[in-house]
Structure 1
C-alpha cells in the first residue's frame, strides 16, 4: 500500500535483509549466551532473551506502525494525498477493511493462488531443513559448538548482501531495459543454492573449508524468496483477494518449513544424504514452476492486450478495490 510496484521488490528486500542480519546477530548472541553459567541450560536463556526482545519490539510496532498512507499520523493531510496519488499506476487500490466474499471466492478460483502455495512449500522445504540442521552440518565439519555458532555470522551477512544485490540488480535491469525481469532473477539466485547443495552432497567430508562455503551458498534462496514475495504483492489486486493470496503463500511457507526437517535422518549424520537430495530436488522443481508461471502471466497480459487494448481511463479503476480479474487496466509483473 505504500510503494509503487516498481519499488516493491527493493523495499521488501531491504526489510528481508533483517533475516540475514538476524542470523548474524543471532550467532553472536548465541556465542555470548553460550557462556552464561546459570541454573538453566544455555538454550533456554537464548529463548528467554531473544523472545523478550521480539515481544518488546512487537509492542513498539503495534503502537507506532501506521495502518495505511490514508491515515498515517506522521504525515500531513497533503502528504497523505501525495502518498496515495503516487500509487495510481499500481491499479491495486489501498487497504479496505471490509471482507468481500466474492473476492475470497475469486482467490480460490485463481490458479495464481495455488501457484503461490506450491511455490511457498517447494521453496521453503529446503529452508526448513537447512535452518534447523545447518549448525549440525557445520559441527559435522569438526568444529566445536561455540565456533559453529560463530560461523553463522558470515552466513547471515552473506544472505543480507545476496538479497540487496538481487533486488537492486532486478530494479536496475527492469528499469533500464523496460523488461520483466523478476522471474529471471529468481532463477539466477537459485543457482548458487543448487551449486552449494551439490557440493554438500559430493565434496568429501574432510574438505571442511570447501563444504563450509557450499553451506554458505545455500543462503541465496533468501534473495529468490524476496522476489517471490514481490510477485505475490504485485500480481494480486483487491484487498480481500490479496489477503487470501498472501495467506496461501505463507501457508505454503509453513508447510515447507514443517516438512523440510523430516528429510534429515539422524542415522545419516553428518552428511544427511536424503536431506541434501531433498534440497536439490525442490530447487530443480522450482525452476520449472517459475518458468511455467512466467509463461502463464505473460500469456495473460497478451490476452488482455488483445481483448481490451491499451490501458484507458486508469483514474476510474486505480482505487476502486477491484480485483486483477475485474480491472481491465491491470497488467501482471513477472
Structure 2
C-alpha cells in the first residue's frame, strides 16, 4: 500500500532521535496491507511467545527460512571467492593474466555492486521481493558458469562486473526476510547462523577446489561450472518454496500466521515490504547511524577484499604447496564456524557491541602475527592468517543493528543500500593494496589491513554508544511523561504500519 495513507505530525521542540511523534493513520487504507488485514480479522487478547504452539511455529519457520537463506548466502560467498581458488589452479596462466589484471578482477565485481546497488533496492520494493531475488540468483549462477568459457581478461572482467551487479540484491533481500520472521532477540542467533555460511563457504570452496585440482587443466573451469550450477538450482528452489513474510507463507496455516505475526509485535519493525516513502528516505539520511554503517563496511570490506582475492595466494606464499593451500583454505572458515556461537552468547550476556569489538581485536592479533613472525616459521604465520580471518564476525552484530534497530521499509532499504555501497567500496580498494612488487609477503597490504580492522572496532563502539544514549533518552522522556501524567494514544497494530524507529515512541 502507499505510505501516503500515513500522515505523520512531529511534536515540536523534541529531537526526532527521541522518537516522540504523534501518528494519525487511515485505518481502512492501512488494512489493505496483508499483515494488518490478518491482525484486524483476529483480535488476540493475550499471547504467550513461550507457549508450545509458538515454539512449534518458530521451529517451522527455521526449517523453511533458515535452510534457504543459509544456502543462498553460502553460495554467494563461494561464487565470489571462486576466482581466488581458480588462481591457484592455473587460471592466470590459462588466460594470460598479469598480476595487475588479476587484482582488477578482484575489484571489478564491486564496481558491479556500486552500479547495481540503487536499482536493486528499488526493484526489491517495486516487485515481489522473493520472486525478484530468486530470478536474480538464477541469473548470477549463469554468469558464474559462463566464466568457464572465458579465455582472456576482457571476458572475465565482463562476467565479474555482471556478477556484482546481479548479486548485490542478496544482502538486502536476506536482511528483509530475516527481519520479517524473527524477533529482535532471535535475530542475533539467526543472523549468526546464516552468516556462518560465509565461513563454511571457505570450507566448501577449499574442499571442492582440492577435489577438482586433480582434474588437470579443466580444474579451474570446473570450479565455475560446479558453483554456477549449484546457484541456479538454489534459485529455482527459492522461487518455488520461499515466501517473504509470514502473511504470505504458503506453508503456514492461518492460525500459525497469526502466531508468527504476534511474535513480532514487540520488535516493532513490521513484516511487510511497503511502497517507497520519500519522507522515510529523508529521515534515513538524517540518521547518523547510516554513515557509521557505511564507514564500518568500508573498513571491514577493505581487508576482506584483499583476503578474498589473495587468500590462497597468501597461504601459498607461506611456503605451502598448491594441494596443501586448497585444503588449508578450509581452516579459517571451520574455526570461524566453531567460535561464532561463543560470540552470539557474548552478545546476549553483555552487548552486541562488545562482542563485535572482541572479534576485531582477534583480527588485529592475527594481522600482527603475520607481520612480525619470522618468514621461516610459516606454520605460526599461517595461524596468524587464520586469526585475522575471524574479524568479519563483527559484521553479524552490525547487521542486527539494521534488522532490529531500523524500522520503516524505505528507511531500512536506504540503510541496506549504504551497507552494500560501503561493502563494495572497501572490497574494491582491498585487492589494489596487494601489489605485484610486494609478493609473496605483501607486507604493505597487511599493514593497511591491520589499520582498517582497528578502526572497525572503534566504529562499532561508537555505534553501540549511540544506541545506548538514544534508548536512555527515550526512557527518561517516558519517565518524565509518566510523572506529569501525560497519556499518549495507543494505535492498534502500529508495529505493522510501516512506521520508522523515530516515529514509534516505544521503539528500543
Which of 414, 438, 448 matches 1:268?
438
Equivalent residues of 2:210, 2:326 under 8 A apart: yes
Task: State the alpha-carbon separation in 2 of the partners of residues 262 and 165 from structure 1.
Answer: 34
Structure 2 segments unaligned to the other structure (5+ residues): 1-179
SS of 2:184 mapped into structure 1? coil
Which of 190, 212, 230 matches 1:33?
212
> Which residue of 2 is the match for residue 226 of structure 1?
396
Pairwise CA distance, 1:168: 3.1
> Which residue of 1 is the match for residue 79 of structure 2?
none
Change (3 A) 1:314 1:23: farther
| 1:119-130 → structure 2 map (5 Å cutoff) | 119-130=296-307
1:8 pairs with 2:195: no
Task: State the alpha-carbon separation in 2 of the partners of residues 96 and 141 from structure 1.
Answer: 49
Cα deviation digits, residues 127-163 of structure 1 (max 9, x gap): 1111211111110111111210011122221121122
| Structure number with larger C-alpha Rg | 2
Which of 192, 197, 201 matches 1:22?
201
**Length, aligned pairs only:** 322
1:302 pairs with 2:472: yes
Pairwise CA distance, 1:110: 1.4
Pairwise CA distance, 1:263: 0.8
1:93 pairs with 2:263: no
> Which residue of 2 is the match for residue 178 of structure 1?
none
Equivalent residues of 2:298, 2:424 under 8 A apart: yes
Pairwise CA distance, 1:27: 0.7
Equivalent residues of 2:360, 2:453 under 8 A apart: yes
Which of 320, 324, 334 matches 2:497?
320
> Which residue of 2 is the match for residue 184 of structure 1?
354
SS of 1:327 mapped into structure 2? coil
- Greater shift, 246-255 or 82-91, is seen at 246-255
Task: State the alpha-carbon separation in 2 of the partners of residues 156 and 281 from structure 1.
Answer: 23
Task: State the alpha-carbon separation in 2 of the partners of residues 280 and 321 from structure 1.
Answer: 41
Which of 92, 104, 107 matches 2:281?
104
> Which residue of 1 is the match for residue 405 of structure 2?
235
Task: State the alpha-carbon separation in 1 of the partners of residues 389 and 238 from structure 2.
Answer: 28
Which of 246, 265, 278 matches 2:448?
278
Equivalent residues of 2:332, 2:390 under 8 A apart: no
Pairwise CA distance, 1:219: 2.0
Task: State the alpha-carbon separation in 2 of the partners of residues 20 and 267 from structure 1.
Answer: 30
Question: TM-score of the superposition, structure 2-length normalised?
Answer: 0.61
Task: State the alpha-carbon separation in 2 of the partners of residues 170 and 286 from structure 1.
Answer: 17
Pairwise CA distance, 1:317: 3.0
Task: State the alpha-carbon separation in 1 of the partners of residues 188 and 491 from structure 2.
Answer: 23
> Which residue of 2 is the match for residue 205 of structure 1?
375
Structure 1 segments unaligned to the other structure (5+ residues): 175-180
Task: State the alpha-carbon separation in 2 of the partners of residues 316 and 139 from structure 1.
Answer: 57
Task: State the alpha-carbon separation in 2 of the partners of residues 229 and 314 from structure 1.
Answer: 29
Pairwise CA distance, 1:125: 0.8
SS of 1:323 mapped into structure 2? coil
Task: State the alpha-carbon separation in 1 of the partners of residues 376 and 338 from structure 2.
Answer: 29
Which of 308, 314, 322 matches 1:145?
322
Change (3 A) 1:306 1:316: farther
SS of 1:74 mapped into structure 2? coil
Task: State the alpha-carbon separation in 2 of the partners of residues 147 and 289 from structure 1.
Answer: 37
> Which residue of 2 is the match for residue 251 of structure 1?
421
SS of 1:328 mapped into structure 2? coil
> Which residue of 1 is the match for residue 459 of structure 2?
289
Question: TM-score of the superposition, structure 1-length normalised?
Answer: 0.92
> Which residue of 1 is the match for residue 152 of structure 2?
none
Task: State the alpha-carbon separation in 2 of the partners of residues 91 and 314 from structure 1.
Answer: 13
> Which residue of 2 is the match for residue 84 of structure 1?
261
Task: State the alpha-carbon separation in 1 of the partners of residues 392 and 224 from structure 2.
Answer: 24
Cα deviation digits, residues 186-230 of structure 1 (max 9, x gap): 001111110000011111110011001111101212321111111
Which of 311, 323, 346 matches 1:169?
346
Q: CA RMSD in A?
A: 1.7
